[in-house]
Amino acid sequence: MENYLKLDFDAADVTFALRQHHPEASERGGKSCSSQQTKQEALKSPRLQRILEEVAEESSRELKDVQKEAQELLEEIGHKMALPAVRSLALVLRSVLRRILKGVFVNKPGLEKLKEAVRQWPVVLLPSHRSYLDFILVTYLMFEHNITLPSIAAGQDFMNMAGVSSLLRRSGAFFLRRTFGSDKLYKAVFTAYVQTLLCSGDSPIEFFIEGTRSRTAKSLHPKYGLMNMIVEPYLDGRVPDVVMIPIGISYERTLEEELFARELLGVSKPKESTGALLRARTLLGENYGSIIINIGSPVSLHDLCQSKGISRIPHVLYPRDYTMMLTREREMIFELGHMIVHQTYHCMVVYPSALLASAVLYQSRGVPLGELVPMVEWLRRELEERGVAVYWEGGDTLSLIHSSLQMHSVCVELTSSDLVRPRTCHLMSKLATPSGHTPSMVELLGMTLDSSELHLITEISYVHLMLAHYRNQLMFALIPEAMAALSLYHFLPCDKASALKRFDALHCALYKEFVLPKRVPTEMFQDTMHRLLDRGVVVSQRPGDYTLNSQKEHVLAFLESLVAPFVAGVWVVCHHLLSMKGGVQSVSATVHGAKVLAAKCVKEGVVKSYETLSLDLIRNALQSLTESGLIMQHTSEVEGRDRLVKVDDLKGLQALTRELEVMVTSGPSRAKL
């Protein structure tokens, strides 16, 4: 931790309140604009003016009215950054965090680079997003270190929280609507605002490329809307470069862990309201460990474009307010999005709690404490070999496990017989089917599930999903290997062709679940196989043939276990879709149906993982299947209705289901780690 600085929560509040905030002046001629100036300048931008005229003409309205509307929209969007607000927010924050945290740490070299970049370039900060706390942590950090404060893109949900929205606004948050695809005026106004911030101001822009908090703590697919708005001014020569800085914010214990688990199960998703946030205050008596903010290496958009051979020259042949993206540029932005998400996650630190959760989920009936120690240590080594930073706070493993168990007592327990298991483990016995007969899918579909059983299963899932939230934190480093492992483990010895076929099916099923590259996965498979062979996890006696290395079977088994729950989930969704027999169903009905089917599968032991009940998993499965053209989702003709789901390629879906089935249902019990 010698490269980390601890944020100073200890200095007296008075000292802190009187602290000056005078960042060094921008060297690039960016001017510190007042929030009102920014809005005015945005409104004056030639491009917005042109679009306002177009809108007026298309809707036969007076230009003046449209301009007025634009002005109102700017008021809705724009921040009202004011230092006193930041100061008071910071004061509240530090007094709260002081009570519940051991500390917030930030990497020194990253902070230095950030400071330098903000002075010299238009900067975009791209933090990971796992908690509402992310909104203020970066600002707090920059305030404490005397760096120009960022303007932060926030979802409009916040605007419903009366006091909070105004406090956020005054701390530099600006608001965007969740969807504005077809609203030309809104889109133009918002774009103008963001681009004015980027081009004329001296404050960095901060937004969450994943769009929303990752409830599962896995990376989410990047959102491209803001990315496009950021890239455009560079292509158009309005800024010399845009420097993007990924920031990984790792929580030892996520503040919203229970909320997320509830949301994932669809159990009363509370609307973000001030009330809910206040209720969250009851959590404040607890221990949330520490937070590590790891600022990644700045990514220069200019350098990236150079390396991809993207020239700005095509844009100089048009008037400045006519920028349009070329295909190659869109592709570049797509790759850039993936790259940033990837880098953000590689900035993250893995806490022992993630190792603990992984071990517990691997053996969800319980792990004897004595076995847990070597398991956790083994996992740590495996991760560190892969270049993952594991937070290891001195001390011996056992005491680390103890403190982790204490911190995570909501989801994991240590029984009197020294067994570490999910807190709801005892409930599982109530579900055990007496007969021992495993029903077929057809039987399952016909079965009914009474509400008390569903309730029980949901309760178990709830804790499993919380654990999964921690286990998933090491997913980013292992996904390709885990997919390869699943396509191999139960089939070894096997040939490359069949493994690749299964890998291909996994890529198709998990495309949205994980941030996988869009390309044909052959390359990814080969890369990964190289790595597995290098590590001796599998061996190859002849080229194209893989056999098990019994010494390393546990590695394969563990890797496979990481991805198996997700594949099982997709498989259940496939079955539900096939059961529709060519009919049409609304998305919500489909999701619900798949969830109930998952619950039945879990109850009957057809599927082992309680995570398959996750609505997020089901929705991602639908997206992945849509992406690969197996099903279709189309907008209902009745307005306000949900979109409709329909199987488009029955044969393809059947084939995929079969392919997944082999992987999900086969296999002996797991090897010991």
Partner 1 sequence: MDGLGTRRLEVLKGHLHGQGDVKPSECSAVKSSAPMSSTKAEVQRAFPRHRQEVLKWNGWGYKDSRFAIDDKGLTCFHGHRYAIGDVQMPKVVPWMVEEVGLELSQTSFSQPHPSPKELPSPIPCRDFVDEIRPFCADISDEPGDRLFHSHGHTCHELFALRTGKIGRLVDIVVWPANHSQVESIVRAAVKHNVCIIPFGGGTNVSGAVECPANEKRPVASMDMTDMDQILWIDEENLTAHIQAGIIGQDLERKLQDKGYTCGHEPDSLEFSTLGGWVATRSSGMKKNIYGNIEDIVVRVRMVTPQGTVERNFLGPRNSIGPDIHHFMLGSEGVLGVITEVTVRIRPVPQTRRYGSLVFATFESGVAFLREVAKQRCAPASIRLMDNFQFQMGQVIKPVPSLWASFTDQLKKIYLAKFKGIDLKEMAACTLLFEGTAEEVAVNEKKIYTIAASFGGIPGGEENGRRGYFLTFVIAYIRDLALDYSFLAESFETSVPWSRVVDLCENVKTRVKKECKDHGIATPPLIACRVTQTYDAGACIYFYLAFKYTGISDPIGAFDEIEAAAREEILSNGGSLSHHHGVGKLRKPWVQSAISPTGVSMLKAIKQQVDPQNIFGAGNLIPT
Residues that bind partner 1 (CB under 8 A): 28-29, 120-121, 237-241, 311-313, 316, 319-320
- Output 205 or 622, the one with its CB closest to partner 1: 205
Which of 378, 375, 483 has the alpha carbon at shortest distance from 420?
375
- Output 239 or 349, the one with its CB closest to partner 1: 239
Task: State the DSSP string of 33-59.
Answer: --HHHHHHHHHH-HHHHHHHHHHHHHT
SS3 content of the chain, % helix, strand, coil (to 5): 55, 10, 30
From the CB of 303, what's the least distance to partner 1, in Å? 10
Q: With contact defined as beta carbons under 8 Å apart, do 174 and 152 qualify?
A: yes
From the CB of 90, what's the least distance to partner 1, in Å? 32
- Output 177 or 238, the one with its CB closest to partner 1: 238
- Output 33 or 598, the one with its CB closest to partner 1: 33
Helices and strands, number each (H, E), in the chain: 27, 20
Q: Is the dihedral of CA 129, 133, 135, 139 positive or negative?
A: negative
- Output 310 or 591, the one with its CB closest to partner 1: 310
Element (H, E) at 563: helix 553-579
- Output 104 or 305, the one with its CB closest to partner 1: 305
DSSP-assigned beta bridge partners for residue 382: none
Task: State the DSSP string of 160-229.
Answer: GSHHHHHHHHHTTEEEE-S--SS-HHHHHHHHHHHHHHHHH-SSPEE--TTSS--TTSS--PPP-HHHHH
From the CB of 190, what's the least distance to partner 1, in Å? 22
Q: Which two tokens stand for residue 168?
A: 């956020």
From the CB of 319, what's the least distance to partner 1, in Å? 7
Element (H, E) at 68: helix 63-77
From the CB of 306, what's the least distance to partner 1, in Å? 9
Which residue carries 């009957």 as its tokens? 604
- Output 163 or 237, the one with its CB closest to partner 1: 237
From the CB of 150, what's the least distance to partner 1, in Å? 21
From the CB of 195, what's the least distance to partner 1, in Å? 13
- Output 89 or 117, the one with its CB closest to partner 1: 117
User: 358-373 burial, b for 16+ CB within 10 Å, e for fewer?
Assistant: bbbbbbbebbebebbb
From the CB of 649, what's the least distance to partner 1, in Å? 45
From the CB of 48, what's the least distance to partner 1, in Å? 15
- Output 53 or 385, the one with its CB closest to partner 1: 53
DSSP code for 386: T
Cα–Cα distance, 507 to 513 (Å, whole number): 10
- Output 230 or 292, the one with its CB closest to partner 1: 230
Cα–Cα distance, 424 to 429 (Å, whole number): 10
- Output 312 or 386, the one with its CB closest to partner 1: 312
From the CB of 50, what's the least distance to partner 1, in Å? 13
From the CB of 242, what's the least distance to partner 1, in Å? 12
CA Rg value for the chain = 26
CA quadruple 101, 107, 110, 116: dihedral, nearest 10: 80
